[in-house]
Amino acid sequence: MSEAARRGFEDAAARRSVEIAARTSYGRLLALLASRSRDIAAAEDALAEALEAAIATWPDRGVPANPDAWLLTAARRNLGHARARQATATTGAATMALLQDERDSHGAVPFGDERLKLLFVCAHPAIDASVQAPLMLQTVLGLDAARIAASFLVAPATMGQKLVRAKARIRDAGIAFAIPESEQLPERRAAVLAAIYAAYGTAHDTITGADPRGEGLAGEAIWLARLLCELMPDDPEALGLLALMLFCEARRPARRDAAGGFVPLRAQDPHRWDAAMLAEAEALLRTAARHATPGRFQIEAAIQSLHAETVMTGVSNPGPLLALYDLLLATAPSIGARVSRAVALAALDPAAACAALDALADRCATYQPWWAARAHLLRLTGDMARAHAATKTAAGLASDPAVRAWLLATLQE
């Protein structure tokens, strides 16, 4: 191998190492930095500088044995340099106050993980509620604006602008980057739950085996949900969220066939599901139900439980399923829930289901699940020409090639 080729190979390997570290550890490293500096924007800048330094130096010096530790050390050094550049006469007092905060925080709420702590920090009531969960996904879990936008059904540019404005408000208003006390946790819980579920939803849609970040993010979301249940053991919605994700995750092995093709839920082999995970989900759901305060995640978990029962027994329960969707819409209305309700209604009244779906048309022009549901319902009513067109649109909007291939294959049936 020539010297130029060897050099190019080493440069590419080093760059891949930096990319892997950024993808898999960004959120954890940012949480560690921000938990001490109390400044999200400064922590992001310091970590970005550390990543740039890694790209510049690792090809020459070699990839360190512990890339994460190297990046954390470099980022902390960058934070120190930034503070030094901004030093004023009050710096000493500010440092003493920060140290006092650190001392006071000992023995405080045991979050169990820096990322969970930072999620609650980002749920500060002074931050607009509509941007709290997206802010958590970007600053804590390292998702980009495009992936976050997909979770909340908005344009990437719109989400990017919202996040920039939110960070500017945090900086300009001097919102304290403070760890909440125990009594403040319930009021911040809803945003934290939404962020964890959005992170899991992003990972759930990832092609199995094609990108390890997806399964890694799913595992991280479930881990954070477990910690949240430990932190708030009497919170039925925290229990419901964990149950919901476990119901979905238990089916992951059956979502693809041996060739990597997509397998819809109704065609999955329940023997490939994770039985222990399903049992845990059912137990969590029963524990949550004892509180008799149904919320969004408990209801969604109950829906997933009913879907699993239908596949395992071969007996459908359209009445109870429709009732659960009605309860979900009364509790937490969303486009996704309305589309799913229309599909559930089709088992009882296909024409009414089509009408319910048509009522959402002006809000779902680029919403892939709506087009997939429309294709399914049009087939049930015998309108094959329009079903064909809707299937093509659904396939075109599918981000997963396996789902796209499965939809196109249905055109041949």
How far is Cα 207 from Cα 305, in angstroms, rounded to an integer? 23
pLDDT band at 107 (very low <50, low <70, confident <90, very high): very low
pLDDT of 209 above 60: no
pTM: 0.73
Nearest to 255 by CA among 215, 224, 223, 315: 215
**In this structure, what are the phi and psi dihedrals at residue 145, rounded to the nearest 5 degrees?**
-60, -35
DSSP per residue, 212-228:
HHHHHHHHHHHHHHHHH
Other beta carbons within 10 Å of 172 = 8
- Tens-place pLDDT, residues 355-401: 999 999 999 999 999 999 999 999 999 999 999 999 999 999 998 99
Most confidently modeled range among 151-160, 217-226, 263-272: 263-272
The whole-angstrom separation of Cα 43 and Cα 63 is 23
Taking the C-alpha atoms of residue 133 and residue 197, their distance in angstroms, rounded to an integer, is: 10
pLDDT of residue 283: 96
pLDDT greater at residue 93 or residue 146:
146
Overall average pLDDT of the 170-174 stretch: 71
More confident residue, 101 or 245: 245
Burial zone of 53 (CB within 10 Å; 0-12 exposed, 13-18 middle, 19+ buried): middle
How confident is the model at residue 61, as a pLDDT?
79
Highest mean pLDDT among 23-32, 140-149, 204-213: 140-149
Residue 237 CB neighbour total at 10 angstroms: 21
Higher pLDDT, 160 or 13: 160
- Statement: residue 204 has pLDDT above 60: yes
pLDDT in tens, 50-97: 888 888 887 877 888 788 888 888 888 887 766 655 553 344 444 444
- pLDDT at 341 (0 to 100): 97
Could you give the C-alpha distances from 220 to 9, 67, 225, 227, in angstroms and in order? 32, 20, 9, 11
| pLDDT band at residue 186 using 50, 70 and 90 as cut-offs | confident
Better-scored residue on pLDDT, 50 or 402:
402
Residues composing the chain: 413
DSSP-derived secondary structure letter, 153: T
Segment 236-265, tens digit of pLDDT: 999 999 999 999 999 999 999 999 999 999
Encode pLDDT of 315-366 as tens digits: 998 999 999 999 999 999 999 999 999 999 999 999 999 999 999 999 999 9
- pLDDT-derived band at 2 (thresholds 50, 70, 90) equals low
